[in-house]
């Protein structure tokens, strides 16, 4: 399926890649029912939908509620397939659906979409918390601009609403423009106070929900409730990654080999899931501000001759390994206790990257992108004794 807001285009493909049918349907109640009636002539089927974390989410949820089996096809993977398909690279809804069908037929290890109420609630709250943060940043920037015109030299970078209110109390403009500027700044301060209260309430609710999942991500230095919830929502089942190298490639912390001649070096990857990359980056930044193992590791890499950016890149890769192992260990804990696997749970076969470990394995953070995928694209879990 190539999904859109008000319509979807589907193609029915057999295991030998024979096209059996397809069509375009509206996403309203009538169109959805008509699409399901058409597909019912193929009783043994699986839905492969592009972008189930994005535009395809609304229809994927409806199919899950109807008892259908759905797998998520990453948009980048479908785009690569379309490039190598026939049709002169033309991009239409029909060719997009064909590319998605090819990926669904050929690729093993596609992430199954599950109807998990806990993850659905976390996703909603994570999105809400992120929007509050974006709104706070935007209004703070507007306030800084006004204060620069009201107060000589402006305000300091890390400005709270109370500090801004104190600065405004000292400003006494006499002209109409200055008085209007001061009034608008006061309104922005009031908005920031309301946003701060909402952020505090959202953080409290996220903390309670994340703890309820049984994850130990909050025990990692630099991972807060918002970051932990983001990991649980975006990663889903951690065992879908064969190893920590694939996980690092997915989140963009795996370095890219940029060696030339006798010079051996790696550079930062700009690919991968940027939201999870941001979570790891915040984790690294927080650890660098304190006397942590991350700070010690960063200093050791600098002493070895690495630049600040190279040391930071290496630290982020190591922290990615730690996050991977933590989530894998959580899965083992849930499996061993006989409970349902919690969001993001995982097993730890990468003991050298423990969160409390001192010396990482040599060059563990310099390992570039993983090799080709194997026929078993998932991490096997041990049998609980």
Q: Please report how the helices 274-288 and 244-251 are oriented relative to each other, as an axis angle in degrees rounded to 10.
A: 100
148-179 pLDDT per residue, tens: 988 888 888 888 888 898 888 888 888 999 99
pLDDT of residue 86: 59
Domain ranges of the chain: 2-112, 117-212, 219-353
pLDDT of residue 384: 42
Share of the chain above pLDDT 90, in %: 48
pLDDT of residue 58: 92
Mean of the per-residue pLDDT values for the chain? 84
Pick the CATH number of 2-112 from 1.20.1730.10, 3.30.56.10, 3.30.420.10, 3.40.50.300: 3.30.420.10
pLDDT of residue 233: 87
List b or e across 170-186, with b for residues whose CB sees 16 or more CB atoms inside 10 angstroms: ebeeeeeeeeebbeebb
Instruction: Report residue 297 as tokens.
Output: 């590791």
Residue closest to 319 by CA, chosen among 292, 268, 355: 355
Alpha-carbon Rg for the chain in angstroms: 25
Neighbours of 193 (CB within 10 A): 15
pLDDT of residue 351: 40
Contact between 83 and 107 (Cβ < 8 Å): no
- Over range 178-198, report the average pLDDT: 93
Please state the pTM of the whole predicted model: 0.73
pLDDT of residue 135: 94
Contact between 217 and 326 (Cβ < 8 Å): yes
80-110 pLDDT per residue, tens: 888 776 555 577 889 999 999 999 998 877 8
Helix (H, G, I), strand (E, B) or coil at 339: coil
Helix (H, G, I), strand (E, B) or coil at 265: coil
Q: Is residue 359 pLDDT above 50, yes or no?
A: no
Give the range among 142-156, 335-349, 355-369 with minimum mean pLDDT.
355-369
Contact between 229 and 207 (Cβ < 8 Å): no
DSSP bridge partners of 266: 257
Q: 46's torsion region: left (phi>0), alpha (psi -120 to 50) or beta?
A: beta
């Amino acid at each position: 399926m190539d999904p859109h807001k008000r319509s979807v285009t589907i193609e029915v493909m057999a295991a030998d890649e024979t096209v059996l049918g397809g069509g375009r349907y509206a996403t309203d109640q009538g169109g959805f029912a008509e699409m399901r009636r058409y597909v019912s002539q193929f009783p043994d089927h699986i839905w492969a939908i592009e972008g189930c974390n994005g535009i395809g989410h609304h229809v994927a949820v409806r199919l899950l509620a109807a008892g259908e089996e759905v797998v998520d096809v990453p948009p980048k993977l479908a785009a690569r397939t379309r490039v190598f398909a026939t049709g002169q690279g033309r991009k239409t809804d029909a060719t997009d659906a064909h590319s998605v069908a090819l990926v669904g037929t050929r690729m093993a290890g596609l992430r199954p979409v599950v109807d998990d109420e806990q993850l659905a609630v976390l996703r909603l709250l994570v999105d809400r918390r992120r929007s509050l943060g974006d709104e706070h940043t935007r209004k703070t920037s507007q306030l800084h601009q006004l204060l620069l015109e009201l107060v000589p030299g402006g305000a300091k970078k890390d400005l709270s609403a109370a500090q801004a209110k104190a600065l405004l109390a000292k400003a006494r403009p006499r002209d109409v423009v200055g008085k209007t500027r001061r009034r608008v700044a006061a309104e922005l301060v009031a908005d920031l106070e309301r946003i701060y209260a909402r952020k505090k309430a959202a953080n409290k609710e996220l903390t309670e929900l994340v703890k309820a999942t049984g994850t130990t991500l909050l025990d990692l230095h630099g991972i807060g409730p918002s970051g932990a919830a983001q990991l649980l929502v975006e990663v889903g089942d951690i065992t879908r990654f064969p190893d920590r190298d694939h996980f690092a490639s997915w989140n963009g912390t795996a370095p890219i080999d940029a060696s030339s001649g006798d010079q051996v070096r790696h550079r930062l990857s700009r690919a991968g899931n940027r939201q999870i990359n941001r979570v790891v980056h915040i984790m690294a930044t927080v650890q660098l501000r304190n006397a942590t193992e991350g700070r010690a590791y960063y200093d050791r890499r600098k002493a070895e001759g690495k630049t600040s950016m190279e040391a930071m890149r290496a630290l982020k890769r190591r922290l990615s390994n730690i996050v991977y192992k933590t989530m894998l260990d959580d899965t083992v804990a849930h499996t061993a206790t006989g409970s349902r696997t919690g969001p993001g749970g995982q097993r730890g076969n990468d003991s050298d990257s423990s969160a409390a470990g001192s010396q990482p394995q040599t060059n563990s953070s310099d390992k570039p992108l993983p090799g080709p995928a194997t026929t078993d694209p998932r991490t096997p879990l041990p049998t609980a004794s």
